[in-house]
Structure 1
């Protein structure tokens, strides 16, 4: 392949990944927007409503990440069969994932019942606990529906219909805003439920989204070719075990990073509410920025799985290369925004001068964090496309809990390295952890591609 042809292939693949990834980014932003709408509406009702909804929402996200994260495996596994144009295997994978999603949803509901009891043991004010519980009652059904929705959503992404996810999530966001407004404040003849209204609104929205994904899978132009609902497969333990083999490490990997940031507010709470608020603001800003690299990483996963399934190994390597460069470019732009406009970002979320000062300090660390996190999630997306998930799990554990957390705690809360850095020490520890993770994960991608290239050379001889 000459340089001109290679350049043409590069830009063609970049365009393909961008066109596939953009709907995923927009759809993910809309999904995140539903949670932000709940927080905004609850905050307009009262401080206690906001605290109760935040507490209940955090518990719901935690439970779903533990169990629902397993269903991420459906994307690359079904995508492999889609790339191979094996319609029977696509149907079988679709049904086996359903047989897994159903019990996971039931277990999640049982965990939420325990969570309703648990919120009363956290030392929050009685009114906040009551609001959190009222919010969680409808979420018992919602968390079950989440698993069915995610099973269908990952299927749509795997069969090259990311636009469906984007459209349904945008409509869900708009409906959630209207329902929150009606149920939280008692408009349009509906009862005034306060923060609990956010829970009922979410249940209605998620149920309708699940139904919408079902209709798209049954009648959509591309999905209907596979007749996903025409012939039902019984549960097959070997196939379900294969999904768990790929999915459990994915869920565990997510939890290692999620739990790292989850414990920070608990540790730095003694430093004052302003420190906790600044950390929360920086984390929320970065969580929003993370949507773009995550969407492209998901596009890499699907592109690689399609190419591997179709035995287009050279194209799989190109998808990795182009995707990682695209993610790095996006992260560099985001990093520049953090460094050039920290004051604007801080004042956007708080009027408190002390909170703004701490937030501005954290944005410098968040800039480095954003680049390393993007490089890590991009490599992880590529490896998931190859159905490699166990080694990344070990890497994330070592990076965050063997290297990152001990370093972060010693920097933040002790004088081992000199003057304690406070919450900034945890962000510096996260930067180091993600630097280790990004390096090792990208080396893994390179090694796997090199191994594949050597195998193909041997086969051609």
Structure 2
């Protein structure tokens, strides 16, 4: 078991390095836009909230295929992996069409969430650029899930780390202008991401074509006609998982749209808190990915006892790591906020929000681990229902009521006019979610089903 934990640990650290590089995209954009203007970072906050909601929910469909491919690897079926990956291209095409439509036509969503008119033009410019970066982003996510299932995440991590070397200078240049280029503001950050997405996917495509690692999968065999039975299986596994991620992400990102009503100060401070929460999320996410890949491998190999032992050990590890990251956010909240902004009005509010982020992360660590491992047991519908009730209702809904509908006493009105109601309610809802998911997980492993 010690060797298994070391294997998962190496896998998780490798995935974490790559995920942090990707998260550094958002951190870079937040810092660059924050130095450009408060309006730019406010537009970035709203625009990135919409893009992440679309991308993450579609990405979840393909990330949910990781356990399937890991099981096929454990069962010694490399050709089945190649065939199912080719079939996933049909789903990817449909996902790209749906996602680009939302990003290129966001007017109804912006009106529904009452995003201020002054921000809408810049937000639409930002999304129009990112829409064309969605296809390579989703295709690279499929490549990433494949490598994780095969137990070889290093290629993905190296690509993600190298892409950061392109992203940082490009964002600065396109946002602030220079060398004959006019400043583009938040849209410059989006254009930098677009360039990086196509570059990284192009290199990944070359690797799939040239590396011996992928040869046993016969990925370049002729694309078969749609296998509706297999695609239906993908949908039963991936669509609830994608919708669950949509609910999870929108319960988080819709805060940015609702907070934007409070003005640029609230949006800027919320963006800092949201970015830190997203960075923290990468730690349990990496552990969850590594654990789910290994658990599915052993389930495919027919060793349920080893899979269950790994789940219990890694659950305790996820809880311990969650405590550690939360403590860092709480104790170092002021220095961390100071990295993001030099605005004397944004800094104090952002520091207070990081207290909520610390609590939010602890619950997030547990529920993230649980939902990924539950996919190894094909449990996807129950988490979706719980997310809808708890995160949309208890978190986002109650937060909205406290911020905009509650007739607060005079002493509470200053607190009410900040992003705090949303963060407090979301953290509380996530704690209930984590407890419920933990119960479902340990019940599932007591009576595993294929």
TM-score by length of 2: 0.88
- C-alpha separation in 1, matches of 2:437 and 2:109: 37
1:68, CA displacement in angstroms? Answer: 3.0
What is the CA deviation profile of residues 311-363 of structure 1, one whole-angstrom value per residue up to 9, with x for unaligned ones?
A: 12112112211221221111111122133223323333344555444344333
Please tell me whether residue 430 in structure 1 is matched to residue 426 in structure 2.
Answer: yes
What is the CA deviation profile of residues 218-276 of structure 1, one whole-angstrom value per residue up to 9, with x for unaligned ones?
A: 33343222221134332211111111111111121122222223343454556565444
Q: 1:171 to 1:56 in 2, by over 3 A?
A: same
Contact 2:400–2:421 (8 Å) recurs in 1? yes
Larger displacement relative to structure 2 (367-376 or 40-49): 40-49
Instruction: State the match for 1:320 in structure 2.
Output: 311
The two structures, once aligned, show a CA RMSD in angstroms of 3.0
Instruction: State the match for 1:337 in structure 2.
Output: 328
Q: 1:431 to 1:337 in 2, by over 3 A?
A: same
Contact 2:42–2:268 (8 Å) recurs in 1? no
Q: Which structure has more RCO (C-alpha within 8 Å, separation ≥ 6)? A: 2
- C-alpha separation in 1, matches of 2:309 and 2:212: 28
- C-alpha separation in 2, matches of 1:168 and 1:269: 35
- C-alpha separation in 2, matches of 1:22 and 1:243: 28
Segments of 4+ moved more than 6 angstroms? 116-121, 416-419
Which runs of structure 2 are paired with 1:17-416 in the superposition (5 Å)? 17-46=8-37, 49-115=40-106, 122-125=115-118, 129-185=120-176, 191-192=181-182, 194-195=184-185, 196-268=187-259, 273-352=264-343, 355-409=346-400, 414=406
- C-alpha separation in 2, matches of 1:48 and 1:418: 29
Bigger CA radius of gyration: 1
Q: 1:332 to 1:54 in 2, by over 3 A?
A: closer
SS in 2 for 1:290: helix
SS in 2 for 1:388: coil
Q: 1:168 to 1:361 in 2, by over 3 A?
A: same
Larger displacement relative to structure 2 (284-293 or 229-238): 229-238
Paired residues, what number?
A: 442
1:437, CA displacement in angstroms? Answer: 1.0
TM-score by length of 1: 0.86
Contact 1:135–1:199 (8 Å) recurs in 2? yes
SS in 2 for 1:222: helix
Contact 1:13–1:318 (8 Å) recurs in 2? no
Instruction: State the match for 2:443 in structure 1.
Output: 447
1:131, CA displacement in angstroms? Answer: 4.6
